[in-house]
Amino acid sequence: MPPITKKKSKEMIELIGTNAGLVWNVLNEEGKMSVKAVKKATKIKAEKDIYAAFGWLAKEGKLAFDEIEGEVFVSLV
């Protein structure tokens, strides 16, 4: 596997930030949602991309997570 270059790293960070914005907007409009519903509403295809966006927002203290009957739900704080 080739190393990640600075250019590639910057592109990845931009994608994560863009996806975080999509997630924030959906949760701001809809309120608490399941991870599956957020993924569908944002049209973010890759599982890794949705969780990277969640990580970005969680690190900023903007998300809360709940597990209800084995399903994970996310909401804005």
Q: pLDDT digit string (tens) for 58-72?
A: 999 999 999 999 999
H or E segment at 66? strand 63-68
What pLDDT sits at residue 44?
97
Interacting residues of 12 by C-beta distance below 8 A, sequence separation 6+? 4
What's 5's DSSP letter? P
The answer to whether residue 28 scores a pLDDT higher than 80 is: yes
Quote the mean pLDDT of the chain: 95
Structural tokens at position 71: 């399903």
Sign of the Cα torsion 30, 34, 39, 40 reads negative
